[in-house]
Structure 1
Amino acid sequence: MPLQALALLRAGVLSGEYYEATNEEGELVGYTMWMPPGQEMFSTEEQKQLGLYEFMAKLSDEAKEYYRTKGKLDSWWLHMAMIRRDYQRQGVLRALLSPVREKAAAAGQYLATCTTNDDNIHVYTGLGFDFKGSTVISSPWGDWPIHVFKMDWKATPVTEEKIE
């Protein structure tokens, strides 16, 4: 799925917000990519031209229908969170969530995300997200579990954390 990831990153940088963490040597150790409330990934022609069409051209008709975007317009939607393996469980992701949590708290908004990886359930709940439920969806690539999370900033206080 490299084309899908590339299309997401390009569109997110154009219309979303991207946060990165580096180590003392300046090496990238993690990043998050968000779409703010009122924005949806690939909702503009310019976003679609940054890789979505290339990705979609490689899909079957069944896969194209499956991949249609859905609205996530009431929350800051976390599309990608990647932390280098040797930096996991060191507070990097928690620190990367902090600036968006602050924005959401100031505006009375929420954070939300989903994952298809069962192992990430404890990661997101450990960060303060509420687990809202799971379902299994059929796709052209097989059945995928979808686990959905929402963070209510009122129930999860913003703390001062720095990215190291």
Structure 2
Amino acid sequence: MTGGNKSLEGPLFRAMIRACLLAGRVYTAIVISTGAIAGLALWFPPGKALWQNDAQRNLGFNQFLESLSPKTKEWWINTYGSALAPFIKTALSPHTVESSWYLNCICVDPKYQRQGIATNLIKMVEQKVRCSHSVCYICMISSYLQAMTTSILALCTDTDVNVAVYKALHFQYKGEAPLPTPDNEYIDVHCFTKPGARV
């Protein structure tokens, strides 16, 4: 997503957080003894989406785009969204991103991984969705979670590590699709859903 430029990972993440603080819901897991952030989840409720308007994009995303190489910037503008959209639409049907809760990013500090933090950051919104009868759609930086009528949670991920994580969290594998990269290669995006109460 940064064209291999690791110095842009921080600006990208900060642009996500700022946009979510403006229009979404930020959930954190805090270490009580130190106040450190152990984990973070960025959610957007129905009707909201990451960088859907100038107010959000002006909080760092536009600056991030201008810092990218021309090739990676072109990929963001013309390839990334359009390549994923048909796949996401099919996976979400009959629901849509606009009618869903959307988790754009979830991460846990390596020092605190394997302690149930990510699981609980997901469960917090899963419980909220069950109470509000919304559909829940979750997406990581390189992952998307979708939901069907009988699936509160669903996701797509492009790493084998995350495939194993979501299998351990009892998500059901739903298939995969190729996503072109800025280097004209392809990565497999794997999809999962998690059955829940009918919504």
**TM-score tier (shorter):** 0.7 to 0.9
CA distance in 2, matches of 1:49, 1:18: 19
Q: Which amino acid aligns with 1:72?
A: V
2:140 matched to which residue of 1? none
Q: Are residues 1:28 and 2:37 paired? A: yes
Q: Are residues 1:62 and 2:57 paired? A: no
1:34-45 alignment to 2 at 5 Å? 34-45=43-54
> What secondary structure is seen at the aligned counterpart in 1 of 2:27?
strand
Q: Are residues 1:121 and 2:163 paired? A: yes
TM norm structure 2? 0.68
1:37-116 alignment to 2 at 5 Å? 37-57=46-66, 58-60=68-70, 62-63=74-75, 64-68=77-81, 70=85, 72-112=97-137, 113=145, 114-116=156-158
Segment drifting more, 16-25 vs 4-13: 4-13
Task: List per-residue Cα deviations over 1:74-120 (Å, max 9, x = no partner).
Answer: 32221111111121111111111222111110122233323222210
Q: How far did 1:59 drift?
A: 4.4
Instruction: Give unmatched runs, 5+ long, in structure 1.
Output: 156-164
Q: Are residues 1:146 and 2:189 paired? A: yes
1:137 matched to which residue of 2? 179
* Cα separation, partners in 2 of 1:151 and 1:14, compared to 1, 3 Å: farther
* Cα separation, partners in 2 of 1:148 and 1:123, compared to 1, 3 Å: same
Q: Which amino acid aligns with 1:65?
A: N
Aligned length: 155
1:158 matched to which residue of 2? none
Instruction: Name the one with the larger helix percent.
Output: 2
Q: How far did 1:34 drift?
A: 1.0
Aligned residues: CA RMSD = 2.2
Q: How far did 1:147 drift?
A: 2.0
Q: How far did 1:49 drift?
A: 0.5
Instruction: Give unmatched runs, 5+ long, in structure 2.
Output: 3-8, 86-95, 138-144, 146-155
Check the 8 A contact 1:110/1:151 in 2, yes or no: no
Q: Which amino acid aligns with 2:111?
A: D
